[in-house]
Amino acid sequence: MKMKLAEVAKAISVENDISKWQDVEISSVAFDSRQIANGALFVPLSGQQDGHKFVQDAFAHGASATLWASDHAAEENNHPVLVVKDPLTALQELGKYYLGKINPKVIAVTGSNGKTTTKDMIASILSTQMNVTKTYENFNNQIGVPVTLLNMESNTEAVVVEMGMDHFSELDFLTNMVHPDIAVITMIGEAHIEFFGTRDKIADAKMEITHGLQEDGTFVFNGDEPLLTQRASQVDQEQRTFGRQLENDLYATSVNLTSHEIKFTTNMWPETEFTIPMMGEYNVNNALAALSVAYLMRIEPGHVQSGLEHVELTQNRTAWLQGQAGEQILSDVYNSNPTAAKQVLHAFARTEVTGQRVAVLGDMLELGDAAPELHASLATELDPSKIQSVYLIGPHMRALRDKLADKYPAEALHYYSIEQKETMTSEVQAMLTKDDVVLLKGSHGIHLETVLASLQKS
C-alpha cells in the first residue's frame, strides 16, 4: 500500500486535526511494534496487553504514524497521531477502503479443514497469470483480513482471503468487509464443535461466507457434503460444485498416490494430469476447489498444472522434513480436529517405509463435551500392523489410549501429560532410526512444534 496520511484520515474518520502531517506517507500497517517496517501505520490493539503501551516503541522501530483510541488519555507526541473511536474498527474501515481503491478480484475461502492449503493452491495457480496477494500465514480473522487487504500492492489483480471462525456472525462480518467475487467452502467437519454443538450448526456458520458474495459472484463448494448442498438452495448466485462424486461440476477421474505427491486427472481437462507436491488423498478435494476457481478465472490448464506443482504451502501444515537421526518427519503441528487427524493418519499408514511408522498425537481442542468420544474415534485409523508405535499427549488423549489398550501391546502405546512433553520428546528421539517415519499432529495449543524442533536439532 502507499497512501498519504490525509487519505488515511479521510478513510477512517479521524477526530483530530492532522493538517501538519497530511503529506506523511504510509506504506504498510502493523499491530506488533516488534515487526514494524519503515513507513508503517501502527495500530494499537487491546488484547492481553494494551497496544497503546507500545506506541513509542513502534516509532522507535520506524513507524511513520499511529492510531490512538479517543478513550485513552492524550500523550505529548511529536509524531503523527490519528485519534479514532476504536483502532480495530479503523483498521477494518481502512482495509475496506483500500480494497475498493485497488479493486481486485476477491476470492474468499473457508472450511473446517483445508482452507489454508486451498488458499495457497488458488494463489499459486492465479499467480501464473496475475498479480496476486494472499492471506499471510493464518491471518484469517477480524484483524488478519484487513491486514491482508492493506498488504496488497497497487497492481494486485486478485486477492485470496482465508476466513476463519469459531462463532456465529464472524464470517458474516468478514465477507461483508470484502464482498468476494468467488466464495469457497472446502468442507464441514467437527472443528470448533464446542461452540456450535452440531455439524449442522457449523454448516450454518460456514454458509455466512455467501452473505457478502457479489450479486454476479459464484459460490464454490464441496458437492459431496449434503449439509452444503441442502443450504446452497438458499443462495441466489451462480454455483459450482467439486468433489469425488460424479454429480459434481468438477471431479477427479483418476488419482495416483505416493508418499510425497499426488497425480490426478479431472473431467474438466481430461487430457491434463495434475501433480500436487504433498501426500494424502484428502488433498485432491483441496486441489479440486482450487481448480474450480482457476476455471472461473479462465486460467489456462498448463498454468494450472504449473501453479499446483510449485505451490508454496503455509508453514507447519502437512510437510515432510528430516530429523537428526535421518528419520522422515511428517509435520502437521499447526492444528488438528477429528476429520483432519483421521485423514492424515489414513495417508500416513500407507507411506513407504523400511523401518516403522510412529505417530505422535496431541490433543484436539475446542471439541467440548464430545472430546472423549471424538478422540477415541481416531482408533479406527490406528492399526499396529501399519503404525507400529503411538505416542499420545494431553488430557483428552487418555480416551484414545484407553481405546487402543486392547489393540496395541503396552510397549508400543505411550501416554503423557502436557507436563511430560520433554520426557515424551526424549523417548521418541531415543527410539527413532534413519529407516523410520514419524507423524506429528495436534492442535496448536499443544505446541508440538517444540517436539519437531528437538527432533530436527543436530
| 115 labelled binding-site residue | yes
Looking only at the bridges linking them, the beta strands covering 250-257 and 262-266 are antiparallel
Residues 6+ apart with CB under 8 A from 5: 18, 21, 22, 23, 24, 25, 26, 64, 65, 80, 82
| DSSP one-letter code for 365 | P
Give me the helix-helix angle, 5-12 and 87-102, nearest 10°: 110
Task: Work out whether strand 182-185 and strand 218-222 pair parallel, antiparallel, or are unpaired.
Answer: parallel
List all residues 6 or more positions away from 10 whose beta carbon is below 8 Å from its beta carbon.
Answer: none
- Joined together, the cell numbers standing for residue 142 give 477480524
Under a CB-based contact definition with an 8 Å cutoff, are residues 99 and 107 in contact?
Answer: no
- Establish whether 111 is an annotated binding residue: yes
**Residue 316 assigned as binding residue:** no
112 marked among binding-site residues: yes
b/e map 143-182, b = 16+ CB within 10 Å: bbbbbbbbbbeeebbbbbbbbbbeeeebbbbbbebbbbbb
Say if residue 323 carries a ligand binding annotation: no
Number of C-beta neighbours around residue 50 at 10 A: 12
Give the SS3 label for residue 129: coil
430: exposed, middle or buried (Cβ count in 10 Å: 0-12, 13-18, 19+) = exposed
* Helical H segments across 134-274, by residue range: 144-150, 170-178, 193-196, 199-206, 226-232
Rounded Cα gap, residues 309 and 410, in angstroms: 42
For the chain, the first-to-last Cα distance in angstroms comes to: 41
Neighbours of 78 (CB within 10 A): 6
Task: Report the alpha-carbon distance of residue 188 to residue 337 in Å, rounded.
Answer: 11
CA dihedral 10, 16, 19, 21 (to 10 degrees): -90
Taking each helix axis as running N to C, give the angle between helix 170-178 and helix 199-206, from 0 to 180 degrees, rounded to the nearest 10.
20
Show binding-site residues for ATP.
111-117
Q: Residues annotated in the binding site, as ranges?
A: 111-117
